[in-house]
Amino acid sequence: MKKFLSIVLICLALGGVVFAQAKKGPTLRNRDPDTLVFVLAAAPQPLDPNIYTTLNEAQIMREINETLIGMKSDNTFYPILAETIPTIQNGLVSKDGSVYTIKLRKGVKFHNGNPFTADDVVFSFNRILHHPKSSSKSMFSAVLSVVKVDDYTVKITFGKLKDPEYATVALTSWEDRAKYMTASPYGPALNILAHYCSGIEDKETVEAAGADYGTKIVVGTGPYKFVSWPNPQEVQLTRNEAWWGDANTVAFKNIVFRAMSEQPQVNNVLITGEVDMAFNLSKLDIGNLERNGLVITTKPGVTIWYGVFNMNSDLVGQKKNGKLDLSGQYTEGDSTHLRRAIFYSINPVPFIKQVDIFNGYAVPANQMMQPGFLGYVEGAPAGTPFAEFNEKTWYYNKEKAKAEFAMLSPEFRAKLGPESVTLVVGNVTDRVKIANNIKDQVKTTLGFDLIKVVPMVNAQIIQQSKTGDGYDMVVTAWFTPTMDPDYTCIIYGGDSIGTGMNGALYNNDIVNKNIQIGRYSLDRKTREEAYIKVQTQLMTDKPYFPMVYENVLFASHPRVGNLDQAIFKTKLVDIHLLTRLQ
């Protein structure tokens, strides 16, 4: 009897904890408890996943338009509109790894009742790759063809260019791709098939809607369906009661997405109970959110904050005969020594602790690859550049910085005056603060006010990054939505020079070769070894200075549950996986 009472008391105690947690939190303010209100960082673009790619519309569209394959929060794949995950073992991937046969789920209907078939898959990928307004062409550039086999089977063939010189050719049709590409295995194949931009759209509806599609008319197969877009800052969805995945598992009947860019305002509406969930928080005030009963959820993210040294700069770059060195092999010179002097003068660890920047929600970055990705170098292997890193001071080394600075020739040193090195940065408060911190650290270490911080709009930085004109350094960030290292490699691959993404205009034969190996191999070990070589060479040449890996940070009302499974490293949330605790 005593044992039984003990068990009862334990159960009641545990139940009391859960119940007490569910009761805490702000009172819902003038709204329906069946509706979840989710804050977006900015107003979304049209809800057309094959064309538009920012995080704001992606958060909405992932509840409306489903992909063939999904990715869980632990980075494992599962079938959505595909019946099963294709592999070489089950015969759905060709032996050479280039052709994926996708068996489609039968009986699925779009929100308007139209049946989902292979025609919709071919149509959607054609728009991704060949629509003039598509923002995701480069991400899906390895797709050679998507062919209908029958109503519920498609074959997706991956490939690469037959000749690197074709990189400047615009591939605007399936015929162009057949002409300039050849079949090849593609390492991130499943990752891009799981990417939200590959959400499948209803061919009949999109074609009939014309310019109204994405704003007035939106159709998918997902757990929620579009209701209205009453103003630019708000989008309303409701549960798809006919969802093939079982609408009874979807906790909230409605979702209202509300755009709000001012972080203090976001914190305030969480506290007043006007909204349920947000990620664009004022980090200065996290403690106040917790004191008011909000739940704070944080996990490692896929955003890396880093700095760029412009290889086309006379001061910190790598030039040969007065021009950008594209030989693929650098030789040391004065600009190399100045670059290293600046590199060893920096310590981003204080930025992490600074309450008005990261407030502890980040970790020091020791390389240009995110933790958990293939090719991330674990630890500090002896004999590699990573051996210089430690968690407390990053790569900061005052003696090395001064030694490199002392190696400058008198002629080169004469070129350096106060603020002679231009560091451009997006005109956003936290980025400008980071840039000014770097300026102060270099001045303190070298005893010379070397850096001038120039804030500018991000579009201008991207434009200048195509040629390397007008700057010596950049502070920026990169986000990898595919969860695969190949997408991170865009920012330092030689084939990205001229696109604005490789802002360093960095070109190295070892890096380029191994990016290609990693991209066009399905073997996990081969890919991992290739990407490790890439990171080692990057940290040897130092065209970049990785600073921090930013954590994902959400605040939510305690009535919202299953946060760990629903929140992704990409800052996206599978809202249909959330549970309702009140």
Using a pLDDT cut of 90, give the percent of the chain over it: 89
Cβ neighbours around 564 below 10 Å, total: 10
Specify the pLDDT at position 535: 98
Number of Cβ within 10 Å of residue 16's Cβ equals 10
Give residue 337's pLDDT band: very low, low, confident or very high (50, 70, 90).
very high
For residues 22 and 17, what is the distance between their CA atoms, to the nearest angstrom? Answer: 9
Q: Return the DSSP state at 377.
A: -
Q: What are residue 531's phi and psi, to 5 degrees?
A: -70, -30
Asked if residues 163 and 495 have their Cβ atoms less than 8 Å apart, the reply is no
**Token output for 366:** 């020791």
Q: What is the pLDDT of residues 163-207, one digit of tens each?
A: 988 988 999 999 999 999 999 999 999 999 999 999 999 999 999
Q: What is the mean pLDDT of the chain?
A: 93
Model confidence over 532-541: pLDDT tens digits? 999 999 999 9
* Cα–Cα distance, 576 to 98 (Å, whole number): 33
Full set of structural domains in the chain with CATH:
29-47+209-294+571-582 (3.40.190.10), 66-200 (3.90.76.10), 301-551 (3.10.105.10)
Task: Supply the pTM of this predicted model.
Answer: 0.89
Question: Is residue 256 pLDDT above 60, yes or no?
Answer: yes
Given a cut of 60, whether residue 445 has pLDDT beyond it is yes
Determine the distance from the C-alpha atom of residue 298 to the mean position of all C-alpha atoms in its chain, rounded to a whole number: 16
Q: Which residues are CB-contacts of 60 (< 8 A; sequence separation ≥ 6)? A: 40, 44, 47, 235, 237, 257
Whether 320 has a pLDDT exceeding 60, the answer reads yes
